[in-house]
């Protein structure tokens, strides 16, 4: 066994119903006196409530999926205009992503308060979209200094969004099994993340039950820590292209594509497949995932979110150069075409991918 693993310097505070107090403590710890709060219009009421004790000089509400460059530039300009010394993001991955875009060029510290299970708050990964192209990278400056996890903030999350966001976290775990820099520590974190998601996600129909939501938040953090270390695997390379080029919703795209990439890669990665299966409480990884997806009534087809069959060839051309060289099995243009077609159609991945030519 030989590997290198780097732990990220970040403070995690976890407590249901305690967001305001925990947030005030972290801003005080930073010594910030001019805070910018990023929260979408849908989050404004809640954000004002939990930031009422902070020295807020600007509430920024322009939050857009995939962080368009022009949106990032306006947020950076606002931070400079108000002489901000810290940024608080409240919301899902889009809010966190915008805060990261500011930190990328300014170095301003971030305190992230997630209200979904996106996991971006625990990674050094940033993403910006210009035109139809999404660019991602990793930079230590964008890692939030602290993260506030409060399961009460997820109670108002609609059930379909809870499901998609939770499966997005599961996708982080799966890619962490075989990402470009995956190591044994990443795999252990990812396996525990999958187990906690299996426990927590089926409780989605009980919005008054914080236990399930706490499990999912805990899992989202583990998944993001593992993913930040392991790097983007085939699944995320596919989804970043689809999101940036075709403006598909982030969580739903990940939730839809995941079973097809798992079905493609798992036969060539038996140890990872066994870990995933065990965490899902199943005899097989794809069997366990499909059972969970059926239980959750998960997103099923890319065509339901605006991806057209005629878009497949263009997407294949954009994805192929980004495929990780150490993916568990080689990936051809025809492989990608078949994976995307199956995901577009919503075909059972066990039949659509399982009989692909060249399958180990």
- What is the predicted pLDDT for the residue at 359? 40
Q: Is 321 exposed, middle or buried (0-12, 13-18, 19+ CB in 10 A)?
A: exposed
Cα separation values, 354 from 24, 87, 324, Å: 51, 46, 21
Q: How far apart are CA 34 and CA 32, in angstroms?
A: 6
- State whether residue 20 is helix, strand or coil: helix
Q: Are 187 and 177 in contact (CB under 8 A)?
A: yes
Residue that the structure tokens 């999101």 belong to: 243
Task: Give which of 280, 309, 312 is closest to 296, Cα–Cα.
Answer: 280
- What is the predicted pLDDT for the residue at 206? 61
Query: ∠ CA 175-358-278 to the nearest 5 degrees?
Result: 40
pTM of the model: 0.89
- State whether residue 233 is helix, strand or coil: coil
Q: How far apart are CA 61 and CA 83, in angstroms?
A: 18
Beta bridge partners of 68: 129
Q: Are 289 and 259 in contact (CB under 8 A)?
A: yes
Alpha-carbon dihedral sign for residues 127, 313, 231, 185: positive
Structural domains of the chain, ranges and CATH numbers in brackets: 11-154 (3.40.50.1970), 159-352 (1.20.1090.10)
E strand map for 188-284: none
Q: Is 15 exposed, middle or buried (0-12, 13-18, 19+ CB in 10 A)?
A: middle
Question: Can you list the residues of the chain whose pLDDT is less than 50?
Answer: 357-360
């Amino acid at each position: 066994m030989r590997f290198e693993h780097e732990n990220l310097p970040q403070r995690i505070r976890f407590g249901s119903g305690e967001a305001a107090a925990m947030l005030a403590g972290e801003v005080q710890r930073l010594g910030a006196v001019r805070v910018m709060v990023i929260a979408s219009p849908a989050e404004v009421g809640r954000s004002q409530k939990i930031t009422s004790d902070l020295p807020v000089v600007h509430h920024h509400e322009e939050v857009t999926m995939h962080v368009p460059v022009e949106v990032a530039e306006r947020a950076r300009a606002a931070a400079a205009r108000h002489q901000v010394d810290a940024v608080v993001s409240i919301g899902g991955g889009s809010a966190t992503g915008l805060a990261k875009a500011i930190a990328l060029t300014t170095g301003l510290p971030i305190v992230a308060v997630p209200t979904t299970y996106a996991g971006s708050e625990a990674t050094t990964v940033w993403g910006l979209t210009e035109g139809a192209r999404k660019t991602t990278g990793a930079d230590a400056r964008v890692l939030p200094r602290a993260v506030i996890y409060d399961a009460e903030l997820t109670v108002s999350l609609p059930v379909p969004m809870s499901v998609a966001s939770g499966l997005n976290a599961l996708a982080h775990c799966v890619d962490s099994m075989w990402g470009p820099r995956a190591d044994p520590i990443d795999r252990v974190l990812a396996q525990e993340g999958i187990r906690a998601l299996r426990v927590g996600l089926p409780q989605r129909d009980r919005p008054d039950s914080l236990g399930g939501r706490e499990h999912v938040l805990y899992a989202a953090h583990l998944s993001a820590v593992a993913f930040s270390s392991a790097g983007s695997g085939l699944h995320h390379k596919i989804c970043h292209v689809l999101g940036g080029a075709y403006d598909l919703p982030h969580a739903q795209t990940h939730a839809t594509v995941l079973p097809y990439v798992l079905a493609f890669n798992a036969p060539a990665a038996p140890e990872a497949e066994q870990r995933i299966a065990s965490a899902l409480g199943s005899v097989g990884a794809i069997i366990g995932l499909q059972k969970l997806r059926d239980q959750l009534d998960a997103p099923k087809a890319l065509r339901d979110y605006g991806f057209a069959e005629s878009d497949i060839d263009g997407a294949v051309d954009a994805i192929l150069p980004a495929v990780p060289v150490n993916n568990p099995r080689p990936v051809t243009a025809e492989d990608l075409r078949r994976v995307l077609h199956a995901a577009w159609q919503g075909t059972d991945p066990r039949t659509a991918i399982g009989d692909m030519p060249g399958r180990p």
